[in-house]
């Protein structure tokens, strides 16, 4: 459990903001890149201080839930987008949506505000036998996907299917030579997030040879894509990593 403070906040596109957290405790964090996730603790509206759990084993969740709501921080899963150890800083990028606890905190976060993190480590593991990769995500997975691309070898053919809420959230990206990015935006269409990326992969010709798949986002995107790859495309289960980052209509507990 480490406590940091907000250093800066920057609106990247209308639907994305980056918050830079910093402090000497960044030195206690081993940043490995890729989809390295953290539990981010931040104060509820009106709270002036951050009461972090003190336990670092799994019991921290029970410890947190015993704290009355008036004193308990929010906790949400996020990805470390990048780090600058020399400046004792990390950046986290947030897909803003409505007035959720996370989006509201990002909008009100000011330099000096406290925020805490608990490192959850990385899940992305490119198998040695992979001759290519398929990366698929919605806006919640964009930060992780971009970090994975930061360390993708230029020689690895990579097809990326990225869905965001709005065309204004599509960013120009500098990517390694072998990477092809397919962007999709829902643009107010009444559809479940992840639908466009899922349908596009269903229609796509997949990378040739044995390839690795990493998919994350709204839970139906992750589970349906995996089922499609395994059942309809004959992809070995062990070549797919899939993660439900959030569930439509369900708030994160905590």
Q: Does 113 sit near ligand FAD (CB under 6 A)?
A: no
Nearest CB to ligand FAD, comparing residues 94 and 212: 94
Which residue's CB comes closest to ligand FAD? 100
Q: Does 26 sit near ligand FAD (CB under 6 A)?
A: no
**How far apart (Å, rounded) are the C-alpha atoms in residues 41 and 52?**
7
**How far apart (Å, rounded) are the C-alpha atoms in residues 170 and 102?**
21
- Of 3-11, 50-58, 61-69, 91-99, the window that binds ligand FAD (rule: CB under 6 A) is 91-99
Nearest CB to ligand FAD, comparing residues 179 and 222: 222
Provide the 10 A C-beta neighbour count for residue 213.
24
**How far apart (Å, rounded) are the C-alpha atoms in residues 170 and 15?**
10
In the complex, what is the shortest distance from the CB of residue 200 to ligand FAD, in angstroms, rounded to a whole number? 19
The full DSSP string for 83-146 is EEGGGTEEEEEEE--TT-HHHHHHHH--TT-EEEEEEEE------TT-SEEEEEE-GGGHHHHH
Q: Does 245 sit near ligand FAD (CB under 6 A)?
A: yes
Q: Out of 33, 101, 132, 178, which residue is the one contacting ligand FAD (CB under 6 A)? A: 101
Q: Does 97 sit near ligand FAD (CB under 6 A)?
A: yes
- Which two three-digit tokens encode residue 222? 């992750």
In the complex, what is the shortest distance from the CB of residue 106 to ligand FAD, in angstroms, rounded to a whole number? 9
Helices and strands (H and E) in the chain: how many: 5, 12
Q: Does 250 sit near ligand FAD (CB under 6 A)?
A: yes
Q: Does 139 sit near ligand FAD (CB under 6 A)?
A: yes
Residue in this structure with the two tokens 């360390």, named with its chain if needed: 151
Using CB under 6 A as the criterion, which residues of the chain lie in contact with ligand FAD when the complex forms?
37, 76-79, 93-95, 97, 100-103, 139-140, 143-144, 193, 245-252
């Amino acid at each position: 459990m480490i406590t940091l403070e907000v250093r800066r906040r920057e609106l990247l596109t209308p639907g994305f903001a980056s918050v830079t957290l910093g402090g000497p405790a960044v030195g206690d964090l081993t940043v490995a890149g890729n989809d390295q996730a953290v539990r981010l603790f931040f104060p509820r509206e009106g709270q002036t201080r951050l009461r972090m759990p003190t336990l670092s084993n799994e019991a921290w969740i029970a410890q947190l839930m015993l704290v009355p709501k008036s004193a308990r921080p929010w906790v949400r899963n996020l990805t470390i987008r990048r780090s600058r150890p020399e400046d004792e800083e990390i950046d986290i990028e947030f897909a803003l949506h409505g007035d959720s606890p996370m989006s509201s905190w990002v909008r009100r976060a000011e330099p000096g505000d406290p925020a805490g993190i608990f490192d959850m480590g990385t899940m992305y593991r490119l198998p040695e036998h992979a001759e290519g990769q398929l990366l698929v995500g919605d806006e919640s997975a964009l930060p992780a996907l971009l970090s994975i691309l930061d360390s993708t070898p230029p020689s690895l053919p990579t097809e990326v299917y990225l869905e965001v809420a709005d065309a204004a959230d599509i960013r120009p990206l500098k990517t390694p030579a072998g990477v092809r990015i397919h962007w999709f935006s829902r643009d107010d269409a009444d559809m479940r997030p992840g639908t466009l990326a899922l349908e596009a992969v269903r229609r796509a010709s997949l990378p040739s040879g044995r390839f690795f798949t990493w998919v994350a986002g709204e839970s139906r995107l992750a589970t349906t894509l995996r089922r499609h790859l395994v059942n309809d495309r004959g992809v070995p289960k062990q070549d797919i990593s899939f993660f439900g980052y959030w569930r439509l209509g369900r708030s994160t507990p905590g």
